[in-house]
Amino acid sequence: MQLASHFLGDILDSIIVDVASECHRIARLGLDRNLEEEEEEMKLSAQARVRVADPSSSSEANSKYVVDIFGQTHPAVANEIFECMNCGRSIMAGKFAPHLEKCMGKGRRARPKATRSNTGASQNRYSRSSPISTYSPYSSSSSVNRLSNGTPGVAGEEYGDGAFAET
């Protein structure tokens, strides 16, 4: 039993000196990171979150807008009116996208495959779990890796299926 703990002690000593030697080299060669800077960053980050979370302070992130920096106000739904370049009708800006979707006949029909390109845009290329280089023109062919905006509507499900159409 004593012999075993003696060997364990030796192994630990060896490992400790190994790590010390490695760190010594990194420090001497100036390869280490600036710890002071990093600590400063962490402090700033913590301070920032405290200030933003404080309900008494004016929370810029969440307060309702009164005027923008140019002194302008804007309605909840953009009310600029312009002509749809597809059908020629006059549409209100804030309703343009849903109009265009129907106008162009998108959203409810199966769509053709997109062309491939060379931007090397695939996430799977260097994702941590797959060593084999797979290629897809868009960042993900599954709906998993996306942060969506807007509200899920009836067309949502349809869209979800549509996303898998090209692989």
Partner 1 sequence: MNVQIKEKHLSIPIKMFSTNPTYTNPKPCKHLADYKLIHGLNGYNSLQKSLKTTPDGRTAMNRDQSKIPRCSFCSGYEGRMYFCLICSSVSCCSSSDSNHAFLHSQTENGHEIAVDMDRAELFCCVCCDQVYDPDFDKSVMIKQILEMPRNNNGMDLSKEKSIKRRKLVSKVISDSKISKELVLRMDRGSKSCFPWGLRGLNNLGNTCFMNSVLQALLHAPPLRNYFLSDRHDRETCRKISSDRLCLSCDFDAIFSAVFSGDRTPYSPAQFLYSWWQHSANLASYEQQDAHEFFISMLDRIHEKEEQVRRPNKDDGDCFCIAHRVFAGLLRSDVTCTTCGFTSTTYDPCVDISLDLEPSNGSSTEVADKSNKLSQNISTLLGCLDLFTRPERLGSDQKLHCEHCQERRDSLKQMSIRRLPLVLCLHIKRFEHSPIRKMSRKIDRHLQFPFSLDMAPYLSSSILRNRFGNRIFTFEGDESDMSTDFELFAVVTHSGILESGHYVTYLRLRNQWYKCDDAWITHVSEHTVRASQGYLMYYVQKMLYYKASEEMNCLLMSPRGDPFLPTAECC
Query: Minimal distance in Å, beta carbon 121 to partner 1?
Result: 4
- Closest distance to partner 1 from the beta carbon of 5 (Å): 14
The answer to whether 94 and 82 are in contact (CB under 8 A) is no
Query: CB of 44: closest distance to partner 1 in angstroms?
Result: 6
Binding flag, residue 56, partner 1 (CB under 8 A): no
Residue 87 contacts partner 1 per CB under 8 A:
no
Report the residue from 8, 12, 87, 165 that binds partner 1 according to the rule CB under 8 A.
165
Start-to-end CA distance of the chain, whole Å, equals 60
Instruction: Tell me the number of residues near partner 1 by CB under 8 A.
Output: 98
The nearer residue to partner 1, 2 or 33, going by C-beta atoms, is 33
Residue 20 dihedral angles phi and psi, to the nearest 5°: -60, -45
Residue 114 binding partner 1, by CB under 8 A = yes
CA-wise closest residue to 165 among 106, 121, 102: 106
> How would you write 63-80 as a 3-class SS string?
CCCCCCCCCCCCCCCCCC
